[in-house]
Amino acid sequence: MGQRRDLKGMRILITGASQGIGKAMAELAARRGAKVIATARSVELLNELATALKKDGFTLVPLQADITKAEDRRKMVEAATREFGGLDILINNAGIGATGHFADAGADVLRSIMETNFFGSTETTRVFLPLLRQGTKPAIVNISSIVGKRALPARGLYSASKFAMEGWSQAIRAELYKDGIDVVVINPGLTQTNFSKNMLEQKAKVQMDHLRGMTSEEVAEETLLAIEKGKNNLNLTFRGKLLLLVARFAPWVIELFARKKVRKLFAEEISKRHTERAKLVANK
């Protein structure tokens, strides 16, 4: 467990805050009295949110920034220093995804995902460490995924980036304990956002029904509550928790289900391959 904290007056920076979970967290945190810097590659939606919150007397500073660019990461640090005199909580939320099978994906897709989801977050954290060490009950909050703890077919590239985030988070949680910095990992399951519409590729034969998931506001509420209570990890949605439970105590069930699903989806391809092999054997 980490430190319990009251978000009122806390200085928070959230990446990827123009839509979805990031936007919901930014708005909810601001309405709870936190001082928020909301960043994203596109600033128009951030400006709209900032204007709406300002009318209600809340503080949100919009900032255009791409976490994959070193100059933009420095710009975020400068903004936190200029606007709030420092930072207490960094929320690494920005991310991109793709669906499809590894053999069909180009190397550039995996590298793009890793550049944003992993390297963008790690390097953003690196530049903020000096400010966080001086913060009040500081925390680094990494928005990961249930598939960052148990991978599923056709989500391998995205899962790889989130598995990397999980491993990195575990390591720095121990390393930064000496500095009084908490490291919190949030693992949402299916969430009702535009995330699937903004993917680099969508090549999976079966798309997941995100409309059956939690809303962005529900995920944001659970995330901020976890930060306040000093939790280190939070797994979300009933189905997500069930997946992890089965994977822990009966991993063979997940493997059996995954293989059965793949065999069904690629039945025609598998049948064709067997036929070709049979012909080769017969002609020998």
Instruction: Tell me if residue 144 is catalytic.
Output: yes
Q: State CA 253 to chain mean position distance.
A: 26
Tell me if residue 61 falls in helix, strand or coil: strand
212 vs 242: CA distance, rounded Å: 15
Instruction: Tell me if residue 169 is catalytic.
Output: no
Instruction: Tell me if residue 18 is catalytic.
Output: yes
**Count of CA atoms in the C-beta half-sphere (13 A) of 162:** 26
122 vs 12: CA distance, rounded Å: 17
Catalytic residue among 23, 35, 149, 162, which?
A: 162
123 vs 68: CA distance, rounded Å: 8
Q: Which helix (H) or strand (E) holds 215?
A: strand 214-215
**Count of CA atoms in the C-beta half-sphere (13 A) of 77:** 16
Catalytic residue among 144, 145, 159, 169, which?
A: 144
Residues 22 and 40 sit within 8 Å (Cβ to Cβ): yes
CA angle 94, 215, 57 (to 5 degrees): 75
Residues 210 and 192 sit within 8 Å (Cβ to Cβ): yes
Q: State CA 14 to chain mean position distance.
A: 12
Catalytic residue among 112, 121, 145, 158, which?
A: 158
Helices (H), the chain: 20-31, 44-55, 70-84, 107-114, 121-133, 156-175, 216-229, 238-249, 251-265, 267-282
Provide CB contacts within 8 A for 186, sequence distance 6+.
141, 142, 143, 144, 219, 222, 223, 226, 234, 236
Which residues carry out catalysis? Answer: 18, 144, 158, 162
